[in-house]
Structure 1
Amino acid sequence: MAEENNLLMMLLWLGELTLASWVLSYGAEHLSMRYGAKFVGRTLLSVATTLPEIAIVVYAAAAGSYGTAIGAGLGSNLLMMTLGLAIMLIVATTRLSKAPLKGIDVSTFKLDKIFLLITAVVSAALFLDGYDYIDGFVFAGMFAAYLVMALWEMKNEKKKAKNEVKSAGSHEVVAVETHTVSGRQMTKAALAFAAGTAGIFIGAEPFIHSLQGFSLDSGVSVIVLAVIISPIAGEMPEKISMILLARKGAAGASIAVANVLGSKILNNTLLLAVAVFGAMYHGGFFAHIDANPLLEYQMILVTVMTIGAVAMMFKKEIGLKIGIILAVLYAVSLVIQFLLPQDLTLH
C-alpha cells in the first residue's frame, strides 16, 4: 500500500513539475526576446530551476549535514554536464524536436565555458582542506562576477544590435523589434516565468520525497538511491525545462545551453556559498566543512567529467555525436561511483 501511494504521489507531482516547467519555458522564451537568450538562460532560468536545490542545501547545511549539502551540488553537476546535456542535444537534433537542428551553435558561450572551467577547478582546489568562511566569500564573489559578466555581455549585444539596425537604416526592423518586446507581452512572460518558478519550487521537494519513498519501498539499494535516483529527482525541474526548450528549435536550444552552463556555474559558486553560510549558521562563524574520502573522490570525478564535457564544447557546433558521447560518459561515471568507497553516510 505504501509503495502504491508513493508511486501515485510521484506521478502526480511529476505532472505538476511538467506543467510548471512548460509555463517556465514559455516565460523564458518570451523574456529572451528583450533580454537575450544567453542572459535569460544563464541567470533567470538557472536560478529558477535551481531554487529547490538551493533550499535543500541551505536546510541540510543549517541542520549540520554538511556532506549532504556539498554532495547535492556535486551530484547535480555530474548529472547535468553528462546525461542532462546529452538528452538536450539528442532532443534538439532529432525528430523529437519541432524544428530539428544539425547542430547547436555554442561559439557565443566562450566566456561561460571558461568561467565554468575556472569555477570547477577553484572549487575542487579549495576543497582540499575543506571549506570555511573565506571560501564562502570567494564563492559568493565568483557568482557576483559571473552576474556582472552576464549583464555586461547583454548590454554589449543589445548595443551591437541597435548599431546594426541603424547602419542598415531599416525602420521596418525597428518596428518589429518594438512589437516583440511590447509591455503586454513582457508582462505576460514575466507572470508566466514567476508562476512556473513557484510551481517548480512547490512541487520539487514532495516529488523528491515520494520518489525516494517509492525507491526504498521497492527495495532499491542505498547506493542506487544516492548516486542515481536522488540526483535525477533533484534535477527533474531543470531537465524538463531544458527538454521543452530544446524542442522549440534554435532559439530554445540556445536558452537551454545557457541554462546548463549557467546552472553549473551557479552550483560551483552560489550553491557552495550558501552551503558554507548554512554551516556558519549552524556551527558559528568559524564553522568548517571537512573533506571526507567519499566527497573527495566525488569532487575529483565531477571535476574531471566537467572538464571533459566543456572541452568538447570548444568548437562552433555540438550535435548528436557529442550527445551520445556525453551519455556514455554518464554511464562510465555510474560504474566509477559504484567502485568508489561506499560509506554513504555524508554528515
Structure 2
Amino acid sequence: MAENILILLGWLGELIFASWLLSDGAEHLAERWGGRFVGRTLLSIATTLPEIGIVVAAAKDGSYGAALGSALGSNLFMMTFGLAIMLIIATTRLSKAPEKFINVKEFGLDKIFLVLTAVAGAILFIDGYDVLDGIFFSGMFAVYLAFAFREMKKEKKVIPLEKNLHEDSQIKPKKHFARAMILFVAGTVGIFIGAEPFVHALEGVSVDLGVSIVVLAVIVSPIAGEMPEKISMILLARKGAGGASIAVANVLGSKILNNTLLLSVAVFAAMSYKGITAKIPNTSILEYQMILVTVITIVALIPMFKNKLGLKSGILLLVLYAIGIGMQFVLQSV
C-alpha cells in the first residue's frame, strides 16, 4: 500500500510541476493577447489540459470512473474552493488593489451556458455516453466559442478589459514571448507524460484502500488537474478588479469546457481504443456524483446571478466545498 501511495504522490508532484510551467506560460501569453476572450478560451483550454490528459489516459484503459470522476471533481473543486480562494484574495489585503465586490454582470452568457451544459450532461448520462453524446458536447463547445468570440468583438468597440490592469501593459519583447511559449509547451508535454502513470497509481491506491476509484478521482485528481487554474487565479486576483474579472472568466470558461469539450474527449478517447460502439456506462456511484456536482454547480452560481461577489460569497463557497467533500464519504458507503 505504502509503495502505491508514494508512486501516486510522485506522479502527482510531476503533474503539479508541469501544471505550474503551463500556468506561467499561459499567464504571460494572456498578458500579450489579453482580454476576457483569452480568459474564456486560451487560458481556459490551457488550464483544462491536465484534466484532458488524465481523462484520455483513463478512458484509454477503460477506467471510465476515473475519467468522469476527474471531470466532476474539477467542477466541484473550482466552482466552490477555487472561486472562494479567488474572492478572499481579491476582496482583502492579499490583493494589491482589494475590491469590496467583484462585478460579474458581464458574465451572463457564461452563467447561462454553465447551467445548461451541467443539466444537459446530467440528463444525457441517464443511459450513458455514446458517440451521439460526444458529437453533442463538441457542438455545444463550438457554440460557446462562437458566442465568446462575438462578445469579444463587441468588447473591443467599448473599453479594453485590461486597460490600466498592468503598468507594463505594453507589448512584451520577443524574448519574453518565446519564454512563455517554451514554458507552455514544456508544461503541456509534462502533463501528458504524467497523466497515464498517475491514473494507474490512482487505481492501485483505490484497490489498496478499498475506496471507489470514482470517489478517489473526485477528491485527488483536481489537486493536479486544477493546479494551473488555481495558480493563475491567485496571480490574477492579486492584480485587482480587472485581474479578478479575467479569473472569473477563466473559471466559468474552463467549467463549461469540462461539461462540453472534456466530456466529448472522454467519449472519443473511449471510441479510439474500443471502437465506434464504445459507450461510457452509467453506474450508481457515477450517477450520484453527477447529480451532486450538478446541484452544487447551480447552487454556487446563485450568488453570481446577483451580479456581485464579495467576501461573504467566498466563505459560503468554502462551506459548499466542505459539504461536497463530506458527501464523498456518504457516497462511498452507498
What TM bracket, shorter-length normalisation?
0.7 to 0.9
Q: Which letter maps to 2:81?
A: L
Aligned length: 319
Counterpart of 1:299 (choices 290, 301, 308) is: 290
Instruction: Confirm whether residue 322 of structure 1 aligns to residue 313 of structure 2.
Output: yes
Distance 1:317 1:111 in 2: 16
Letter in 1 for 2:68: I
Whole-angstrom distance in 1 between the partners of 2:42 and 2:180: 9
Find the counterpart in structure 1 of residue 325 from structure 2: 334
How far apart in 1 are the matches of 2:146 and 2:176?
A: 24
Find the partner of 2:118 among 108, 117, 120. 120
Distance 1:186 1:313, change over 3 A: farther
Deviation at residue 157 of structure 1 after TM alignment: 1.3
Percent identity reads 57
Cα distance per residue 1:150-202 (max 9 Å; x no partner): 1111011112349xxxxxxxxxx9xxxxx9564xx385675454334324324
Equivalent residues of 1:57, 1:70 under 8 A apart: yes
Structure 1 residue 227: Cα displacement: 3.9
CA contact (8 A) 1:200 1:237 kept: no
Q: Is the 8 A contact 1:41 1:256 kept in 2?
A: yes
The residue type paired with residue 260 of structure 2 is T
Q: 1:136 Cα shift?
A: 0.7
* Aligned residue in 2 for 1:146: 144
SS in 2 for 1:314: helix
Q: Tell me the CA shift for residue 341 of structure 1.
A: 3.8
Equivalent pair of 1:30/1:189 in contact (CA under 8 Å): no
In structure 1, the partner of 2:181 is 194
- Out of 246, 250, 257, the position equivalent to 1:259 is 250
Letter in 1 for 2:75: N
Please give the per-residue CA displacement for 1:50-106, whole angstroms capped at 9, x wherever unaligned.
112112212222332222222211111111111111111111111222221211110
Alpha-carbon distance in structure 2 between the residues aligned to 1:237 and 1:99: 23
Counterpart of 1:30 (choices 32, 35, 48) is 32
- Equivalent positions of 1:181-220 (< 5 A) are 182=171, 185=172, 190-204=177-191, 206=194, 209=198
**SS of the residue 2:306 aligns to:** coil
- Are the aligned partners of 1:22 and 1:244 in contact in 2 as well (CA < 8 Å)? no
Aligned-residue offset at 1:116: 0.6
Root-mean-square deviation over aligned CA pairs: 3.1
- Match of residue 274 from structure 2: 283
Q: Contact 1:98–1:247 at 8 Å: present in 2 too?
A: yes
Cα distance in 1 for residues equivalent to 2:20 and 2:82:
16
Q: Which residue of 1 aligns with 2:233?
A: 242
Q: Is the 8 A contact 2:137 2:261 kept in 1?
A: yes
TM-score normalised per structure 1: 0.81
Is the CA contact (8 Å cut-off) linking 2:16 and 2:224 kept in structure 1?
A: no
User: Is the counterpart of residue 274 in structure 1 residue 265 in structure 2?
Assistant: yes
AA in 2 matched with 1:237: P
Cα distance in structure 2, aligned partners of 1:316 and 1:296: 31
Q: Distance in 1 between matches of 2:176 and 2:72?
A: 32
